């Protein structure tokens, strides 16, 4: 399974865009880039995933570099409720399990 690396912590001002980077230089061709977040003491929440193309949904945008070695999760207008640990995971359905790192702890400040 591909290993992903993320900065341990980031800060963002409320109302500004939060850009969370992730490196996955050994990602396989069939592995998707998944993002989850976990608010304290809750179960992880799915955010978005992508394979090659950039993706957008109601929660966030995912930008994947052309060589697929890195990606950025963008929360366009961060709110205090976006304070959480964000996990980037390289995953293909045939792997059958998500391999989690330590994630990025995002603090959104008023």
**Which of these, 90, 70, 87, lies nearest to 1 by C-alpha position?**
90
Residue 5 binds to other proteins (criterion: CB under 8 A): no
Element (H, E) at 49: strand 45-50
For 102, phi then psi, to 5°, come to -95, -15
Least Å distance, CB 13 to other proteins, is 26
Query: Does 87 contact other proteins by CB under 8 A?
Result: yes
* Closest to other proteins by CB, 5 or 15: 5
Rounded Cα distance between 109 and 59, Å, is 19
How far apart are CB 50 and other proteins at their closest, in Å? 10
Contact residues for other proteins (CB under 8 A)? 30, 32, 34, 36, 41-46, 49, 51, 87, 91-93, 96-103
């Amino acid at each position: 399974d591909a290993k992903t690396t993320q900065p341990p912590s980031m800060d963002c001002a409320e109302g500004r865009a939060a850009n969370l980077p992730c490196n996955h230089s050994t990602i396989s061709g069939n592995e998707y880039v998944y993002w989850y977040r976990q608010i304290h003491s809750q179960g992880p929440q799915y955010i978005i995933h992508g394979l090659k193309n950039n993706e957008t949904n109601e929660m966030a945008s995912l930008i994947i570099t052309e060589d697929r070695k890195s990606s950025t999760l963008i929360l366009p207008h961060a709110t205090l409720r976006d304070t959480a640990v964000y996990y980037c995971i390289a995953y293909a359905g045939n792997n059958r399990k998500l391999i989690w790192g330590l994630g990025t702890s995002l603090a959104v400040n008023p």
